[in-house]
Chains A and B, each alone.
Chain A
Amino acid sequence: MPSSQPLPPKENALFKRILKSYEQKQYKNGLKFAKQILSNPKFAEHGETLSMKGLTLNCMGRKEEAYEHVRRGLRNDLMSHVCWHVYGLLQRSDKKYDEAIKCYRNALKWDKDNVQILRDLSLLQIQMRDLEGYRDTRYSLLRLRPGQRASWIGFAMAYHLLHDYDNALQVLDDFRKTLTKSSYDYEQSELLLYMHQVMFEGGLYQKSLSHLQQFEDQICDKLSLMEARAQLYLKLDRQKDAEEEYRKLLKRNPDNRQYYFGLEEARGLTNEDIKLQMYAELRESYPRAILARRIPLSYASGEKFRSLVDQYLRHALHKGAPPLFVDLRSLYAQPGKAAIIEELLLGYIASLIKCERFDEKDVKDGPAEPASAILWTYYYLAQHYDFHKDSAKALHYINLAIDHTPTLIELYVTKGRLFKHAGNPIEAYRCLDEAQSLDTADRYINSKCAKYMLRANLIQEAEMTCSKFTREGVSAMENLNEMQCMWFQTECAVAYQRMGKWGEALKKCHEVERHFVEIIEDQFDFHTYCMRKMTLRAYVGLLRLEDVLRSHPFYFSAARCAIEVYLHLHDHPLQDEPTKEELQEASLPPLELKKLRAQQRKAAKKAEQEKQEKLLQQQREQREREQREREQRDPHTDAPPVDDLQPQKLARVEDPLDQAIKFLQPLQEWGSNHIEVHLLAFEVYLRKGKPLLMLQSVKRALKVDPNHPQVHSCLIRLHRFLTNGDLLSENVSHPAVTSVLNSETQPLFSNHNDAEQLNKEFLEQNKNSLPHILQGAKMMCFLNPTREAEAVALVSRFSDAYQGVTVQTCSDILKAFQKGEFGEAGRQEIDDFKALCHQRMPHAVDFFSGQQVAPSANHNHTVEEVLTNHVSNLTVEDGTN
Chain B
Amino acid sequence: MTRATIELGDVTPHNLQQLKRLNQVVFPVSYNDKFYKDILEAGELAKLAYYNDIVVGAVCCRIDILDGSRRLYIMTLGCLAPYRKRGIGAKMLEHVLNFVEKDGDFHSIFLHVQVNNQSAIDFYKKFGFEIVETKEQYYKRIEPADAHVLMKLLRPQRSLSEPEK
Contact = CB atoms under 8 A, between A and B. Distances in A.
Interface stretch (B18-26, B122-130, B157-165): B18-26
A440 B1 contact: no
A405 interface: yes
A367 B3 contact: yes
A407 B22 contact: yes
A880 interface: no
A438 B52 contact: no
Interface string A386-429: 00000000000000000011111000000000000000000000
B4 A370 contact: yes
A320 B56 CA distance: 14
A372 interface: yes
A319 B53 CA distance: 10
A372 B18 CA distance: 17
A441 B14 contact: yes
A372 B4 contact: yes
A406 B79 CA distance: 12
Contacts of A371: 4, 51, 56, 82-83, 86
B2 interface: yes
A65 B51 CA distance: 70
A318 B3 CA distance: 9
Interface in B98-147: none
B2 A319 contact: yes
B102 to A, nearest CB: 29
B17 interface: yes
A437 interface: yes
A570 to B, nearest CB: 48
Contacts of A408: 54-55
A406 B83 contact: no
Contact of A407 (B2, B13, B54, B86): B54
Contacts of A440: 13-15, 17
Nearest to A410: B54
A624 interface: no
A372 B14 contact: no
B51 A370 contact: yes
Contact of A405 (B2, B24, B82): B82
B82 A407 contact: no
A430 to B, nearest CB: 14
A440 B20 CA distance: 14
B22 A406 contact: yes
A439 B53 CA distance: 14
A407 B11 CA distance: 14
A372 B54 contact: yes
A367 B1 contact: yes
Interface string B1-12: 111100000001
Contacts of A318: 1-2
B3 A406 contact: no
Interface string A317-331: 011100000000000
B80 A407 contact: yes
In this complex, which of B13, B24, B52, B86 has the most chain A Cβ atoms within 10 angstroms of its Cβ? B52
Nearest to B4: A370
A641 interface: no
A366 interface: yes
Given A319-B2, A370-B51, A440-B14, A405 B21 contact: no
Nearest to B2: A319
B18 A407 contact: yes
A564 B61 CA distance: 59
Contact of B18 (A366, A370, A404, A438): A438
Interface in A295-339: 318-320
Interface string A436-467: 01111100000000000000000000000000
Nearest to A322: B53
Contacts of A405: 54, 56, 80, 82
Nearest to B85: A371
Given A367-B1, A406-B25, A437 B53 contact: no
Q: At the interface, is chain A mostly helix, strand, loop or mixed?
A: loop
A683 B21 CA distance: 52
Given A437-B17, A438-B15, A439-B18, A404 B52 contact: no
A438 B53 contact: no
Contacts of B4: 370-372
A375 B24 CA distance: 19
B15 A320 contact: no
A450 B111 CA distance: 42
A407 B1 contact: no
A401 to B, nearest CB: 11
A371 B18 CA distance: 19
Contacts of B14: 439-441
B109 to A, nearest CB: 26
Interface in A363-386: 366-367, 370-372, 374-375
Nearest to B84: A371
B21 A366 contact: no
A438 B21 contact: yes
Interface in B61-102: 80, 82-83, 86
A406 B21 contact: yes
Contacts of B22: 406-407
Interface in A155-183: none
Nearest to A441: B14
Nearest to A374: B82
Contacts of B17: 437-440
A402 to B, nearest CB: 10
A398 to B, nearest CB: 16
B21 to A, nearest CB: 5
A366 B15 contact: no
Nearest to A404: B82
A439 B55 CA distance: 11
Nearest to B22: A407
B54 A320 contact: yes
A407 B21 contact: yes
A317 B89 CA distance: 24
A183 to B, nearest CB: 45
A664 B51 CA distance: 52
Contacts of B12: 441
Contacts of B2: 318-319
In this complex, which of A366, A407, A440 has the most chain B Cβ atoms within 10 angstroms of its Cβ? A407
A374 B83 CA distance: 11
Contacts of B24: 406
A320 B53 contact: yes
Interface string A352-371: 00000000000000110011
Contacts of B82: 371, 374-375, 404-405
Contact of A370 (B21, B52, B55): B52
Contacts of A404: 80, 82
B56 A407 contact: yes
A319 B82 CA distance: 17
A440 B13 CA distance: 8
A408 B13 CA distance: 17
The 6 A-B pairs of least Cβ separation, nearest first, read A441-B14, A370-B4, A407-B55, A437-B17, A440-B14, A371-B83
Given A366-B1, A408-B55, 19 more contacts: A318-B1, A318-B2, A319-B2, A320-B54, A367-B3, A370-B52, A371-B4, A371-B56, A374-B82, A375-B54, A405-B82, A406-B22, A406-B80, A407-B80, A408-B54, A438-B18, A438-B21, A439-B17, A440-B14
18 contacts: A318-B1, A319-B2, A371-B51, A371-B56, A372-B51, A372-B54, A404-B80, A405-B54, A405-B56, A405-B80, A406-B80, A407-B18, A407-B21, A438-B21, A440-B15, A440-B17, A441-B12, A441-B15
Interface of B: 1-4, 12-15, 17-18, 21-22, 24-25, 51-56, 80, 82-83, 86
